[in-house]
């Protein structure tokens, strides 16, 4: 995967964000804490490790072929940025929500 490894401060920030659990699942009314960071602007730009969303596998990389969930990346007809944002809100809206959550901790 392209990009540099996160430094200590970035790792700590990413851990706090991922400690929220999947932000999409949270908004749907349940908790999923097995998450991976979705890099909103890729992994190569300056500050890229600070622009992440905590997403579970289902909302990050796997799409349900029957349309029960939409994935940000991944195979199938239920994936991609436009479909993800139509279903769950923009990445920026979700990001701001995550920042508010970790700020209140």
Here the CATH number for the domain that contains residue 97 is 3.30.40.190
Asked whether residue 82 is assigned to any structural domain, the reply reads yes
Tell me whether residue 51 is in a domain. yes
Question: Which domain range does residue 57 map to?
Answer: 8-103
pTM comes to: 0.88
Question: Domains in the chain: how many in total?
Answer: 1
- Over its length of 105 residues, how does the chain's per-residue pLDDT go in tens digits? 577 889 999 999 999 999 999 999 999 999 999 999 999 998 888 899 999 999 998 888 877 666 667 878 876 666 788 888 988 999 999 999 999 999 998
Q: For the range 50-54, what are the long-range contacts, defined as Cβ-Cβ under 8 Å and sequence gap of 24 or more?
A: 50/10, 50/13, 51/95, 52/14, 52/17, 52/95, 53/17, 53/23, 53/91, 53/94, 53/95, 53/98, 54/17, 54/18, 54/19, 54/20, 54/21, 54/22, 54/23, 54/98
Tell me if 81 is assigned to some domain: yes
């Amino acid at each position: 995967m392209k990009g540099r490894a996160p430094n200590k401060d970035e790792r700590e920030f990413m851990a706090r964000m991922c400690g929220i659990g999947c932000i999409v699942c949270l908004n749907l009314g349940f908790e999923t804490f097995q998450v991976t960071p979705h890099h909103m602007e890729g992994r190569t730009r300056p500050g890229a490790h600070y622009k992440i969303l905590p997403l579970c596998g289902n909302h990050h990389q796997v799409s349900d072929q029957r349309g029960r969930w939409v994935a940000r990346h991944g195979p199938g007809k239920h994936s991609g940025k436009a479909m993800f944002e139509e279903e769950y809100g923009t990445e920026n809206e979700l990001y701001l929500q995550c920042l508010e959550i970790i700020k209140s901790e």
